[in-house]
Structure 1
């Protein structure tokens, strides 16, 4: 495509830049080593505020245009003040956002115009484990289901292939479905 041609579809994703980044980082893999960061500060009760501002990648320190904040709490049903989504709900949002961003990117690459994409993410969770009421119940989700409603200029098979490719490349999906080493320490 020359610079005077307009793309056949516009899902708001600069696929050319993504493909250029892939090529550049394939040639210089040290730049592809990223460290994502978040800080969480306790406010009161079970209410905390997470912030995201900086990360390391492309061979150096990077900074987002803005600081992003996320309030987390528990519902009033658990003697909390419900000042934010629960941490497990934030995990579900992260999964949905990662997959949805992938759908937009893959659709753009495959020349599929999206009209709407909605992901509904549900997580089945027995909270007796996290409450300490039953030591045999795991603290994690029992299952997570992601359902997409996608309106696009594509066949159902093409849409399914877009979603499958998004799932294949999703960092959050991969982190949730494969063991990840997590170290916790205290100063």
Structure 2
């Protein structure tokens, strides 16, 4: 069972749903998540997690990172697979473009967190999802990073979430907007950049 938090998404707008009264199946084990919530409420020390990533510089602006273990539930946890990520800068920055930029990885993490949250909350409310799609844009003035202007903040000046989807007629369609709002409030990746985010 994948570990998916109770996140939800803002402004990943209209979501395609299936008009059916059968039990929704979005692939999220809500029963296990609710049981974990209750267990951690009674043992808050086990809710302390530490996420890890290891990075090795390759050449120029190219680096190779891996993710394999993390700390949680009172002990080290190991993944089934070591996940690998290459990061670099595009050719317009005189680099070799051998991977996404670090800031693009931030956007990937945010989009993944928000859409996974939609699935988790929808499952809990017995809403069957057919698709959830989102695109995220992050505005940035790189004059700060390059040292051109010390008054320019190093980071995103704004983040916008856009969506393209079509709902299938259903009595539950009106409940989808609340899933979006709930996701934005609970997103673990939105918190570090909340001061610059918009359109949630």
- Verify same fold: TM over 0.5: yes
1:170 to 187, 193, 196: 187
1:127 to 118, 135, 142: 142
2:57 alignment partner in structure 1: 42
Tell me how far apart the structure 1 counterparts of residues 31 and 105 of structure 2 sit (CA, whole Å). Answer: 31
Tell me how far apart the structure 2 counterparts of residues 84 and 106 of structure 1 sit (CA, whole Å). Answer: 33
Tell me how far apart the structure 2 counterparts of residues 24 and 78 of structure 1 sit (CA, whole Å). Answer: 49
The unaligned stretches of length 5 or more in structure 1 are 1-6, 180-187
Residue 175 of structure 1: CA displacement? 2.1
Tell me how far apart the structure 1 counterparts of residues 44 and 165 of structure 2 sit (CA, whole Å). Answer: 34
1:102 to 107, 117, 138: 117
Distance change (3 Å), C-alpha of 1:146 and 1:81:
same
Q: Tell me the secondary structure at the aligned position of residue 154 of structure 2.
A: coil
RMSD, aligned α-carbons: 1.6
Distance change (3 Å), C-alpha of 1:38 and 1:20:
same
Tell me how far apart the structure 1 counterparts of residues 166 and 69 of structure 2 sit (CA, whole Å). Answer: 35
Give me the TM-score of the superposition, normalised by structure 1. Answer: 0.87
Q: Which of the pair has the greater relative contact order for Cα pairs under 8 Å at 6+ separation?
A: 2
Is 1:60 the equivalent of 2:78? no
The unaligned stretches of length 5 or more in structure 2 are 1-21
Deviations 1:27-73 (A, max 9, x none): 11111110011111111100111111110001101011101111110
Tell me how far apart the structure 2 counterparts of residues 86 and 130 of structure 1 sit (CA, whole Å). Answer: 14
Is 1:161 the equivalent of 2:178? yes
